[in-house]
């Protein structure tokens, strides 16, 4: 599915030198690279504050902690995302309230927000799934109308550009009150281990988040809020500084691969290629096609027999997961998400893909339909 080793080999000297420098300094925690990485990522994102932390899940939790919500307060997100998004809401004793996604983009359907709004609604967590922004203009307008906070889960869309109807552009993760991302190795900007970050334009949240990831410390050994210990270590920061310089080039390589797939697959009647929204660039964290549910698993097996990996993101929507059944949702409550789980298939997608590989994969899909 990915080729992290191939990506490493192309920048091996630079990466190895950066790692060696950290080892020589012995500043493994809070070394200079952490501060520099935060500054460089802020510049790339066009945002005032970037706060590095241990992973994307921590980032979501800390963002939610900064809102000072009360147990039972409601946070709206979708059932078609990675588990982390809903998990942290539950851990903080808040109530996840779900809205279905759009069938084409896999992202939150803003039209459904009004249906679930209550007096207890406090925040919305849109997820920019597979590398493309949710309809942020509509979501922000809804949030503004009711005074809600918006935390963008940008773990899969770091660097995607959102275009407002007036033509202004902003990076995914910098539009809401706070945004988060993940540097999990297979994400578009991947570390050599775990890592994550929070973004905000707001100075109050900027200070609060920096304190929360550091045990809630204000001044040295004085604590005004309960926090967590969540750090990006210096080695990861040094590696990410090198890779950040290549991020736009990585996006281009993924987009080129997506174009190859689109060209080869769009002629196949049974295959729906990814929808590209007019208001967002797509950085193709995943290239996810939709197939008739009856043949999806057969095609997956067919590809597997030919040595071609593929993945199902995600096989079961969150409202039907065992750990979350007590939310009281039932099969049929989110028909779009439920259907997508039976129809989706993500194809190999990474920065090192060559045209011959993409053609080989598309050819294998064609041969399935010819067989
Ligand atoms: C990867 C991911 C996360 C969590 O990131 P980690 O760094 O693995 O904790 C959260 N949300 C989404 C949508 C993700 O894809």
DSSP string computed for 194-244: --EEEEES-HHHHHHHHHHTBTTBSSTT-BSS---B----HHHHHHHHHHH
Q: Is 82 in the pocket of ligand 1 (CB under 6 A)?
A: yes
DSSP 248-269: HHHHHHHHHHHHHHHHHHTT-T
Q: Which of 106, 153, 160 to mutate to test the pocket of ligand 1 (most atoms within 8 A of CB)?
A: 153
Question: For the chain, what is the total number of helices (H) and then of strands (E)?
Answer: 13, 11
**Arithmetic mean of pLDDT, 1-23:** 96
Q: Distance between CA 102 and CA 109 in Å, rounded?
A: 5
From the alpha carbon of 57, which atom of ligand 1 is closest?
9
CB within 8 Å of 144: residues ≥ 6 apart = none
Task: Say yes or no: CB of residue 196 within 6 Å of ligand 1.
Answer: yes
68 three-state secondary structure: coil
* Whether the Cβ atoms of residue 27 and residue 189 lie closer than 8 Å to each other: no
- Each residue's pLDDT tens digit, 125-142: 999 999 999 999 999 999
CATH architecture of 4-99+107-244: 3-Layer(aba) Sandwich (3.40)
126 lines ligand 1 (CB under 6 A): no
Rounded to whole angstroms, what are the CA distances from 358 to 190, 211, 302, 365? 22, 46, 16, 11
Of 55, 87, 179, 182, best ligand 1 pocket probe by most atoms within 8 Å of the beta carbon: 182
- Those residues whose C-beta lies under 8 Å from the C-beta of residue 311, and which sit 6 or more positions away, are 1, 286, 345, 346
- CA 112, 115, 116, 121 dihedral sign is positive
Range(s) for CATH 3.40.640.10 in the chain?
Answer: 4-99+107-244
Taking only the tens place, the pLDDT of each residue in 269-314 is: 999 999 999 999 999 999 999 999 999 999 999 999 999 999 999 9
Q: Calculate how far, in angstroms, residue 56's C-alpha sits from the geometric centre of ligand 1.
A: 5
Mean pLDDT score, 88-110 = 98
Give the span between the Cα atoms of 333 and 319, in whole angstroms: 9
Residue 344 in tokens? 């989706």
Q: How far apart are CA 194 and CA 177, in angstroms?
A: 24
**SS3 category, 188:** coil
pLDDT band at 115 (very low <50, low <70, confident <90, very high): very high
In short, whether 127's Cβ falls inside 6 Å of ligand 1 is yes
Cβ of 78 less than 6 Å from ligand 1: no
Mean pLDDT confidence for 134-153: 98
According to DSSP, residue 70 is labeled P
Shortest-distance atom of ligand 1 to CA 60: 10
With the C-alpha atoms ordered 258, 261, 264, 269, is the resulting torsion angle positive or negative? negative
User: Cα(155) to centroid of ligand 1, in Å?
Assistant: 5
Stretch 161-166: mean pLDDT, rounded?
A: 97
Percent of the chain with pLDDT over 90: 99
State how far the Cα of 59 lies from the Cα of 154, in Å rounded to an integer.
Answer: 11
Question: What atom in ligand 1 is closest to the CA of residue 194?
Answer: 7
Helix, strand, coil percentages, rounded to 5, for the chain? 45, 15, 40
Give the residue whose CA is nearest to atom 6 of ligand 1: 56
Tell me how far the alpha carbon of residue 123 lies from the centroid of ligand 1, in angstroms: 19
Q: Could you tell me if 173 and 157 are in contact, meaning their C-beta atoms sit under 8 angstroms apart?
A: yes
Distance 274 CA to ligand 1 centre (A): 21
CB atoms within 10 A of CB 95: 18
Whether 37 and 243 have beta carbons less than 8 Å apart is answered as: no
| 226 pLDDT tier (thresholds 50, 70, 90) | very high
d(CA 76, CA 127): 11
Mean pLDDT (the chain) is: 97
Residues 127 and 134: their CA atoms lie apart, in Å, by 7
Domain at 247-370: CATH code: 3.90.1150.10
pLDDT (tens digit per residue) in 314-368: 999 999 999 999 999 999 999 999 999 999 999 999 999 999 999 999 999 999 9
Across the range 213-226, mean pLDDT stands at 94
Q: CA-CA distance, 134 to 157, in Å (whole number)?
A: 10
CB of 184 within 6 A of ligand 1: the answer is yes
Q: Global pTM? A: 0.97
Given a contact cutoff of 8 angstroms between Cβ atoms, the answer to whether 341 and 314 are in contact is yes
CATH 3.90.1150.10 residue ranges for the chain = 247-370
Q: Is the CB of 334 under 6 A from ligand 1?
A: no
From 265, 248, 271, 251, select the one nearest 358 (Cα to Cα).
265
Phi, psi of 114, rounded to the nearest 5 degrees: -60, -35
Strands of the 178-182 sheet, one edge to the other: 49-53, 196-200, 178-182, 149-153, 121-124, 74-77, 95-98
Distance from Cα 154 to the centre of ligand 1, integer Å = 9
Cβ contact 192:239 at 8 Å: yes
């Amino acid at each position: 599915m990915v080729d992290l080793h191939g990506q490493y080999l192309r920048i091996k000297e630079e990466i190895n030198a950066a790692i060696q420098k950290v080892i020589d300094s012995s500043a493994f925690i809070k070394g200079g690279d952490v501060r520099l990485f935060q500054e460089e990522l802020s510049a790339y994102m066009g945002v005032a504050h970037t706060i590095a932390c241990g992973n994307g899940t921590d980032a979501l939790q800390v963002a939610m902690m900064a809102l000072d919500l009360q147990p039972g307060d409601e946070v709206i997100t979708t059932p078609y995302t990675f588990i982390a998004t809903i998990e942290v809401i539950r851990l903080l004793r808040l109530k996840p309230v779900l809205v279905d996604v759009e069938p084409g983009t896999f992202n939150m359907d803003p039209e459904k927000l009004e249906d679930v709004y209550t007096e207890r609604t406090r925040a919305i967590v849109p997820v920019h799934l597979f590398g493309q922004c949710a309809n942020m203009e509509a979501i922000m307008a809804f949030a503004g109308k009711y005074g809600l906070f918006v935390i963008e889960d940008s773990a899969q869309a770091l660097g995607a550009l959102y275009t407002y109807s007036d033509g202004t552009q902003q990076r995914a993760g910098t539009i809401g009150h706070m945004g988060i991302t993940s540097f999990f190795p297979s994400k578009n900007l991947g570390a050599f281990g775990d890592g994550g970050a929070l973004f905000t334009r707001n100075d109050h949240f900027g200070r609060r988040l920096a304190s929360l990831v550091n045990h809630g410390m204000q001044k040295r050994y004085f604590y005004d809020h309960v926090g967590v210990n969540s750090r990006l270590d210096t080695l990861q920061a040094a590696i990410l500084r090198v890779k950040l310089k290549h991020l736009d080039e990585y996006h281009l390589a993924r987009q080129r691969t997506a174009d190859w797939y689109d060209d080869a697959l769009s002629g196949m009647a049974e295959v729906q290629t990814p929808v590209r929204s007019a208001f967002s660039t797509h950085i193709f964290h995943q290239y996810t096609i939709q197939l008739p549910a009856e043949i999806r698993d057969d095609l997956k097996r067919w590809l597997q027999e030919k040595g071609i990996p593929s993945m199902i993101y995600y096989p079961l929507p969150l409202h039907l997961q065992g750990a979350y059944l007590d939310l009281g949702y039932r099969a049929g409550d989110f028909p779009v998400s439920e259907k997508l789980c039976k129809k989706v298939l993500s194809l190999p997608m990474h920065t090192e893909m060559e045209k011959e590989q993409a053609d080989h994969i598309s050819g294998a899909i064609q041969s399935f339909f010819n067989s």
